[in-house]
Amino acid sequence: MKNKISDKREESIISQLSALYMQYGYKRYKPGCFEEYSLYQENKDFLIGKNVITFSDLNGKLMAMRPDVTLSLIRHSDVSDKSTDKYFYNEKVYRQSAGGRNYKEISQTGVEVVGSIDGAVVCELTILICKTLEAVSDNYILDISHMGFTEGLLNEFPSNRNTISEYLKAKNLHDFYLLAAKEKYSQNLINAFEIAVNACGAPENALNQANSAILNSTMRDAIAELNALYELLKEFGFADKVNVNFSATANADYYNGVIFNGYVENVPHCVLSGGRYDKLIDKFSKRGGAIGFALYLGEIERYLAKQNETVDYLVVYSVETQVQALRTAQKLLSDGRSVRISIGIPAGLGYKKLIDLTEKEAT
Amino acid sequence: MINIALPKGRLGEKVYKLLSDIGYKCDEYSKDSRKLIFSDKKGEVSYFWVKPSDVAVYVELGAADIGVAGKDILDEYCPDVYELADLKMGRCSMCVAALEDFKDDLSSPLRVATKFVHTAEKYYNEMGRDIELIKLNGSIELAPVLGISDVIVDIVETGTTLKENNLKVIGRISDISARLIANKSSYKFKNGGVLSICEELRKAVENCD
């Protein structure tokens, strides 16, 4: 039996995922730890946190500790619309933690595909996302949205675009209704916004509802792409883990297609995010498209550790029974069990069975 | 089990009453108890009583699946949560107030005293007015009276405190009321429970209106 304890630990997840990505023919990308600060300054809206650790190098050039891997990859790789390159990485990034006030070293694993992007690439990447989330937890949900649908909708509200975008992200219908009454929005627009907020959950139903919210060709194309993706996911057995959620959006200056947000049970925030970001390639004056995702492992380890601090056997020994404890443990370990040997019962560790070798010594 | 964070005080008690009326009653609950956590016997819900300004933190970090927070707090801290319903309680306004004889001097930055730094910054940024912020934690009305600020940005309920300190409202930023918020992960993994409480609360609020 495979040892379940370490399966969901950071190191183990990383090695499982590296093997998975290599199996799909992805090449490992290993960037340097430092980049010129200007790379992040020019693309600060692409980053999760705006703050970057900076320092001057020996020539006085302003450098930064890498807060993100995607920007380095796009800057340094040859992107061409004639071919497709597939990369994965396991790196540390340096940025503010979610909701935190300090800089942190965060372990991040991700996949990026650059160049010519077609339906097969998008489907394969979605499957890889599902498998990535599965490596973290058996109970996961992948939210899928499409920038074409949300941007197409928001374009219909030119004078209150930002406000409506905030309402969509927060699923805030009550304030939307007040604004709609003030601005005298048509019933058609109100219905479309309601559907965008409420069409959330199993794709078949949500995409059907979304069909009746289509206001323009951008939205129509987006729904057609999501439907095609859903059909493929169904065929490959991943459809039941996918949710449609149009409240999941990303920065429209960079993202332009399918958007992904992954959640696992018992972790209160999004653990994986990504999507199609052809517009970033444009910003680097390169030709082609790009799609990718990142799993923020460093941000979730504390939640995973809490669930996994349990061993199959706890062997408690005394000074006299040390060797006996080692022998007992070795036997159990060779049977594939997890074992902790300890001179007392350690605080905070769960165990299924206790083998007490102190009692023997007493008798 | 749905964990619900309620703001300590009158508003929280009112929301609890509404929730217990629609079936989420907790026998352990007593108004005078100093206990901070109550669970119902059926194990459907559990209530936490927290400082009103902390409700959004508890919900964003997942300690509570849903909670009730003022729109002022949501606008100020922008927590990454869903805002599912307006409970139409605790109504007031976020306002700009100044001394009765105040006249804005556009030749220098406006000195703004407030507890709501982000809200004030956003309001004046949108207006294109240069400001100097003074962060205070209470008795904001004193700032213009003692001359350390030109205006204040604060919550106004009846306006009595302003009047008594010779201040008047010179701008209205937004309407405030209590909102039902939900953790984004709980919204997915406890979807049925979260949505049914939300729907029943919405109906109850409509009936109260």
Does B62 contact A269 at a Cβ distance shorter than 8 Å? yes
- From the list B60, B84, B185, the residue facing A267 with the nearest CB is B185
Distance from the Cα of A71 to chain B's closest Cα (Å) equals 25
Q: What is the pLDDT of residue A4?
A: 37
Taking only the tens place, the pLDDT of each residue in B63-73 is 999 999 999 99
Read off the pTM: 0.84
**Do the beta carbons of residue A256 and residue A290 sit within 8 Å?**
no
Nearest CA in chain A to B85: A174
Q: What is the pLDDT of residue A212?
A: 94
Does B185 contact A269 at a Cβ distance shorter than 8 Å? yes
Express as a percent the part of chain B with pLDDT over 70: 97
Nearest CA in chain B to A169: B82
Chain B residues with CB inside 8 Å of A248's CB?
none
Domain regions of chain A by residue span: 4-305, 311-361
Residues of chain A with pLDDT under 70: 1-8, 97-100, 304-309, 359-363
Average pLDDT value for residue range B19-38: 78
Does B185 contact A263 at a Cβ distance shorter than 8 Å? yes
Identify the residue among A171, A200, A307 best suited for mutation to test binding to B, counting B beta carbons within 10 A and taking the highest. Answer: A171
Does B188 contact A143 at a Cβ distance shorter than 8 Å? yes
Question: Does the structural domain A311-361 have CATH classification 3.30.70.141?
Answer: no
Taking only the tens place, the pLDDT of each residue in A40-66 is 888 888 887 778 899 999 999 999 999
Beta-carbon contacts of B62 under 8 Å, excluding residues fewer than 6 positions away, are A267, A268, A269, B183, B185, B186
Distance from the Cα of B184 to chain A's closest Cα (Å) equals 7
**Do the beta carbons of residue A163 and residue A302 sit within 8 Å?**
no
Chain centroid to CA A144? 12
Does B189 contact A141 at a Cβ distance shorter than 8 Å? yes
Query: Within an 8 Å CB–CB cutoff, is residue A9 touching chain B?
Result: no
Residue B122 CA: distances (Å) to CA of A208, B129, B177: 39, 10, 19
CATH topology of domain A4-305: BirA Bifunctional Protein; domain 2 (3.30.930)
Joined together, the tokens standing for residue B91 give 């109504």
Q: What is the pLDDT of residue A253?
A: 86
Joined together, the tokens standing for residue A93 give 């990034």
Compute the half-sphere exposure of residue A308: CA atoms within 13 Å on the CB side of its CA.
Answer: 18
Query: Within an 8 Å CB–CB cutoff, is residue B86 touching chain A?
Result: yes
Q: What is the pLDDT of residue A5?
A: 37
Q: What is the pLDDT of residue B24?
A: 87
Asked whether the predicted pLDDT for residue B164 surpasses 50, the reply is yes
Chain B residues with CB inside 8 Å of A247's CB?
82
Identify the residue among A174, A198, A243, A307 best suited for mutation to test binding to B, counting B beta carbons within 10 A and taking the highest. Answer: A174
User: DSSP letter string over A297-336?
Assistant: HHHHHHHHHHHH-EEEEEEE--GGGHHHHHHHHHHHHHTT
Phi, psi of B102 (to 5 degrees): -65, 135
Distance from the Cα of A242 to chain B's closest Cα (Å) equals 11
Query: Within an 8 Å CB–CB cutoff, is residue B62 touching chain A?
Result: yes
Average pLDDT value for residue range B186-196: 94
Q: What is the pLDDT of residue A99?
A: 61
Chain A residues with CB inside 8 Å of B183's CB?
268
